[in-house]
Amino acid sequence: MRLQLAMSLRNRKDMKSARYWSCLLLFIFSLQGCGTIKSWFSDEEDNPREPAELTKISSSVAIKKIWSVSVGNGQGEGLYRIKPFISNNTIYVASNDGQIKAINRLSGKLIWKAEIDSHLSGGVGFFRDKLFLGTVDGRILMADTQKGEIIWSVRLTGEVLAAPQSDGEVVVVQTYDGKLSGLDFSTGKKLWTFDSNLPVLTIRGTGTPIFIGSTVYASFANGRVLAFDSLSGSILWEARVAIAKGRSDIERMVDIDGAMAIQGGQLFAASYQGRLAAIDLTDGTRLWQREISSITGTSLGFGNVYVVDDNGTVNAYLSDGQGLRWSQDALAYRELSRPIPVSGYVAVVDFEGYLHLMSQLDGEFVGRVRPDKNGARADMISLGNVLYVYGNSGKLLAYEIRSKKI
């Protein structure tokens, strides 16, 4: 998986000094699994972690493009994962260079377009008639859904890499410096802040908080999931998904950056170099767990919990904890996206932009198409038998998924 790591300095005075910038290490490299540093620099011909070559498949599913639109520069150059949001028949989407569009999700026709003078890094959050976006320089923006006009803007302490969330009273946002903040919905005034004590090295990304009633659930780079009272910020419970192990800071990375999933009173979360865990929503008790390393997050369908490990294997675990239903390893090391169920299938996109459809029953391939040759880091969205894919280059596409007539 392509990961971006950063050394974190917690002293804010250091952050403002030239010495801080000379100490900051920001580097991107291909981290293939949990191997040693030696394996990262091995010769290509001796490296067993080369991306698997795609083989011809027998397609039993028709993947029909309904429409396609362009949205600015898409994810830009910062490894961002700006995700669209759908409300009723409108899909709201934003690009790194500040373009926001409202599009009819059925026809692909433009409803309105707005441009803001900021580089976006997180979004799109939504509540009723408001949109929430995060910027590279740590600002949270509230915009209306009628024209995309900015209602308020508040600066926080770090880059925003996931969509802010709201329940109509509080806007909750996680920043790259490991803090979770609650803001007043109407004014953006900061109500509370929780500092998770960011580890020295982290994967470039943050989890997206989830609201259920007045409780907000959030995951952190220290391998923990916490439940908060959204109004006060008080901690209701804490669950440890992964325990940092090893002598080096790289070996001790246990980020939970991928999306969590909730169903039937359970929360499912997966960490890097850690576990997939099912957690009781009421008190944080771990109900079951499986050893795995993942950065893309979890999704649910057909009684399965889907998760891609950092070797590129797509796994379907039974959601009741009874074991592994199936795994598909033919896409090894192809830097897969979070798996998304659509109709009776599950979809992933690889680093070359190929969309792969697998059966939810057994993981067998049923179809393939290439939406964007630059890949698609943002989570896809499915509604019924339609799959929405936002490519890294800025292409937003809608595909209809149907079984081929025999």
pLDDT tens digits for 125-158?
A: 999 999 999 999 999 999 999 999 999 999 999 9
**What would the two tokens of residue 159 be?**
């880059």
Q: What is the pLDDT of residues 3-60, one digit of tens each?
A: 444 434 333 333 333 333 333 333 333 333 333 333 443 444 556 689 999 999 999 9
pLDDT at 404 > cutoff 70: yes
Q: What is the dihedral of CA 160, 165, 166, 171, to 10 degrees?
A: -20
Phi, psi of 150 (to 5 degrees): -75, 130
pLDDT band at 200 (very low <50, low <70, confident <90, very high): confident
User: What per-residue confidence (pLDDT) applies to 357?
Assistant: 98
Q: Which domains does the chain have, with CATH numbers?
A: 76-195 (2.40.128.630)
Whether the per-residue pLDDT at 370 is higher than 50: the answer is yes
Residue 215 CB neighbours (<10 A) = 16
Q: Can you tell me whether residue 90 is helix, strand or coil?
A: strand
Check: CB of residue 133 under 8 Å from CB of residue 140: yes
Q: What is the mean pLDDT of residues 325-350?
A: 97
Taking only the tens place, the pLDDT of each residue in 352-369 is 999 999 999 999 999 999
Instruction: Kindly report the average pLDDT of the chain as a whole number.
Output: 89
* Whether the predicted pLDDT of 162 surpasses 80: yes
Decide: helix, strand or coil at residue 13: helix
Tokens of 226: 């916490």
Q: Look at residue 263 and tell me whether its pLDDT is greater than 90.
A: yes
CA triple 208-281-346, angle to 5 deg: 55
| Residue type at position 222 | N
Handedness of CA 281, 286, 288, 289 (dihedral sign): positive
- pLDDT (mean) for 85-104: 98
Residue with tokens 């959204």: 230
Predicted confidence at residue 197, as pLDDT, reads 86
Q: Give residue 36's pLDDT.
A: 34
CA distance 199 to 254: 9
- 199 band by pLDDT with thresholds 50, 70 and 90: confident
Average pLDDT over residues 264-280: 97
Please check whether residue 294 is in contact with residue 287, taking contact to mean a CB–CB distance below 8 angstroms.
no
d(CA 212, CA 220): 18
**What's the farthest any 2 CA atoms get from each other in the chain?**
68
Mean pLDDT of 172-183: 96
Predicted confidence at residue 374, as pLDDT, reads 94
pLDDT band at residue 266, thresholds of 50, 70 and 90?
Answer: very high
Amino acid at 256: I
State phi, psi for 49 to the nearest 5 degrees: -100, 25
Write out the H or E segment, with its range, that includes residue 40: helix 37-40
